[in-house]
Chain A
Amino acid sequence: MASSHDPSRAKWGSWLQHHFEEPVQQFEAAKLGMWLFLAQEVLFFSGLFVAYGVYRVAYPEAFAAGSAQLDWKIGFFNTCVLLFSSFTAAMAVRAAQLGRRQETSIHLAITIVCAFVFLGVKYVEYSAKFEHGLLPGNHFAPDMAHVHPWLEGAAAVTELPVKTHVFFGIYFCLTGLHGIHVAIGIGVLAWVLIRNVRGEFSKDYWTPVDLVALYWHLVDLVWIYLFPLLYLI
């Protein structure tokens, strides 16, 4: 299909797809496509955020009590990990633009390691919640020995309000969906890393590195909202 016999296209690599006239057109189309995809990602998460807002207003005490069961220090650590990984993702793009292949690989690898650290910490957090019975809906059976006191007005209370299970339902869905996005991110980052090691990218063509970094920033951004909403307030 590729019009390889067209001399005007000979100066570009095989990465220039046959239906594009020139590299900048292909790059801009890909970038626009990615932004549109990210827009739909935001709306995909929106339903859960709206549910969070609705039930936070409906059951404020359940959310206060539920939030107190989460350890903000762990959440803060994970926030730092993701922010740092976003930085390395951006550095990977910069290195790719300059055609420094090895540097790109290192930055991508660090990003992947950070993603694994994030998921590892999340695993530890989830296991604790599972053990303590802080689960959604009908599975909610809190182990009262491990319940952290929460503040109702000025008084510290250890009793959990009846609707606390709704908080944990929303907590697990939001962080779970985000976790799935992190896992997908690991896969895509690894794929781009392999392609980079193979030498598919150059100063002229680094679109996939740019796109995967964009996706990774969105994953980071979602967490930037999740952390205060779930852990802090």
Chain B
Amino acid sequence: MTAQATTATPSHTGHGHDDADYLRVDTSPLSWIVTLDHKRLGILYLASTLTMFFVGGVYALLIRTELLTPGRTIMDPDTYNKVFTLHGAIMVFLFIIPSVPAALGNFFLPIMLGAKDVAFPRLNLASFYVYVVGAAFALFSIFSNSVDTGWTFYTPYSQTTSTSTISMTLAVFILGFSSILTGVNFMATVHKLRAPGLHWKRLPLFVWGIYATAVIQVLATPVLAITLLMLLMEKVLSIGWFDPRLGGDPVLFQHFFWFYSHPAVYIMILPGMAVVNEIIATFSRRKIFGYMFVAMSSVGLALLGFLVWGHHMFVAGMSEYATMVFSGLTFLVAIPSGVKVFNWVATLYNGSVSFQSPMLYALAFIVLFTIGGLTGLFLGTLSVDVHLHDTYFVVAHFHYVMVGGTVIGFIGGLHYWWPKMTGKMFDERLAKVAFAFVFVGFNMTFLTQFVMGSQGMPRRYYDYLDQFQPLHGFSSVGAYVLGVGFLIMLVMFALSLFRGEAAPPNPWGSAGFEWATASPPIAHNFHHTPVIHRGPYDYHLATEEELFDGFPAAAQKTAAPAKTAAPAAAPDPEKAPAKAAEPAPPARREEEE
């Protein structure tokens, strides 16, 4: 009865014109610019955010190069201030925030829901245009006089600096609306466009994560927008709300700013966690342990994220009672984070784990995010924070969460869904080499910074004492290793695009719904709206056909390439049949609980 799990009746001949995949249905450049297809918009976002990641990465390497030696290495102090500001602003607003939700989310959220598109396709396109306009403002700011305030635009310095903060503030203001519109769209989509049978307890955890993210995007981002508008008004009209000379309070700006920007941290990390859920389930061939707990921990993180903004200002002049409350609330964040980490590990336990490249990134995520999360406890502790505040310890902490968490999750998701998005397989061996470089390089760069920070090296400084040189040097070399890792990855993906073998519908043998359609998906995602009879991780209910060949309708077309692609798909084609026999035991264990 449950054999015909997620469905899709075989395609009818009458739908011939619908069978073209979304990339080939119309190849003119104009069709991309005015596309309403969520998949194409996902690809457009992916290309834009990856470009921004490259730019932000170049700035990061410039920072690390300057810090190789004390004193001047390659740039003067003013340039250095601009470079670290741009690194932060570009990475946060133009790369990380839109990376997973707008790129991967746009592509996979509707497919996972069994929908033809997001709820508001035109709004989706508008939101991409808004993103481009915001990016244009940011570029204008960079090329006019740049910004040197740090990505946080703290007053009063942002009021007095002669750099072009106005255009950069406007850029972030505009990018915020892109984020809000995407959030509104996704929430409405999850509520109203789920396929028949896909109730909330069957939602893929990726959808849960993106949904929780969307809640924050809708409720927190407008506060950033108004804060930046107030900053602009202060600069243009000198209102007197942030400028102490006019009777204002700079700490009020910090409250406003972090009321958005702390939840924004969860806008960044929740989608990374969301991706990791999917990868871990697929490569463990097992239902995610404690599914509802993991789903609710995403929602819990989203809500707690609104209550902890004060921990950015422990030494900024808040009352000591307020700091105690914020410190206590900050520790609460450890609970949903812990729920996730323990449940992932419990999912691995007794699963049939295979170590393909997406899984390596997911495992790296668990390790690095745990380090990032635990060092957050140091910073949330009032007395310790006084020592560590504004040191490299903070830098290392949030890079472990943002890069070790979100970026690793994003890259893992990119590997995982690459065959679905492009219809091409990639060179698994090259992917693993790139992973090794990224993992080693990242830890060299930032583990060192924990040590430097605890020894008192302040963040943002252009110059430093000679005693820190060895550590700074080691960190910079790590950054180069990390950079080489990303370059290898770039080559690997480029090779895949041009020479990769055709991907089968379901190259990883996943029970997830998105693998039910062809690779790449047809323009309408599915020939008929699917009817869902099982959860996305119910390996014990999925047929072998579903797990290894994709769906009958999709497989018919790609059956031939699927066979030839199998050796390239994974270095262990012999193991694949063995895995097919395995899913049953862990599933039974699941039912006993």
Q: Which residues of B contact A46 (CB under 8 A)?
A: 222-223, 226
Given contacts A43-B219, A46-B226, contact A166 B188 (CB under 8 A): no
CA distance A32 to B190 in the complex (A): 11
| Whole-angstrom CA separation of A47 from B14 in the bound complex | 55
Q: Which of A47, A137, A177 contacts B223 (CB 8 A)?
A: A47
Bound complex: CA A155 to CA B367 (Å): 69
Do A39 and B218 contact each other (CB < 8 Å), given the known contacts A1-B523, A29-B193, A169-B240? yes
Give Cα A232 to B460, complex, Å.
48
How many whole Å from B440's CB to the nearest CB in chain A?
42
**Are B252 and A51 touching (Cβ within 8 A)?**
yes
For residue B14, which residues in chain A have a CB less than 8 angstroms away from its CB? 5
- Pair A163/B240 contact, Cβ less than 8 Å: yes
Q: Is the CB of A29 within 8 A of B192?
A: yes
Chain A residues with Cβ below 8 Å from B247 are 55, 58-59, 162-163, 165-166
Pick out which of these stretches binds chain A: B142-150, B179-187, B541-549.
B179-187
- Closest Cβ of chain A: how far from B74's Cβ, in Å? 40
Given A32-B187, A40-B184, A169-B237, A137 and B256 contact (CB-CB distance below 8 Å): no
Q: Are B188 and A165 in contact (CB under 8 A)?
A: no
* Chain B contacts for A195, CB-based, 8 A: none
- Does residue A19 face the partner (Cβ distance < 8 Å to B)? yes
Cβ–Cβ contact A32 & B188, under 8 A? yes
| Interface residue? A48 (CB, 8 A) | yes
In the bound complex, CA of A136 to CA of B239 (Å): 5
Measured in the bound complex, the distance between the Cα atoms of B220 and A43 in whole Å is 8
Mark each residue of chain A from 150 to 179: 1 if its CB lies under 8 Å from any CB of chain B, else 0. Answer: 000000000000110110011011000100
Question: A166 with B246: in contact, given A44-B225, A44-B226 (CB under 8 Å)?
Answer: yes
- Measured in the bound complex, the distance between the Cα atoms of B116 and A47 in whole Å is 38
Task: Name the segment of B117-125, B410-418, B464-472, B582-590 touching the other chain.
Answer: B117-125
Q: Which residues of the other chain, B, contact A44 by a CB distance below 8 angstroms?
A: 222-223, 225-226
Question: Does the CB pair A40–B246 fall under 8 Å?
Answer: no
A sample of 14 more A-B contacts (CB under 8 A), given A28-B192, A43-B222, is A1-B36, A19-B193, A33-B187, A36-B218, A37-B184, A40-B219, A50-B256, A54-B252, A58-B247, A137-B238, A166-B246, A169-B238, A169-B241, A177-B229
- Which 6 pairs from chain A and chain B are nearest by CB? A169-B239, A137-B238, A47-B226, A19-B116, A44-B222, A29-B192
Could you list which residues of chain A lie within 8 angstroms of chain B, going by C-beta atoms?
A: 1, 3, 5, 17-21, 25, 28-30, 32-33, 36-37, 39-41, 43-48, 50-51, 54-55, 58-59, 136-139, 162-163, 165-166, 169-170, 172-173, 177
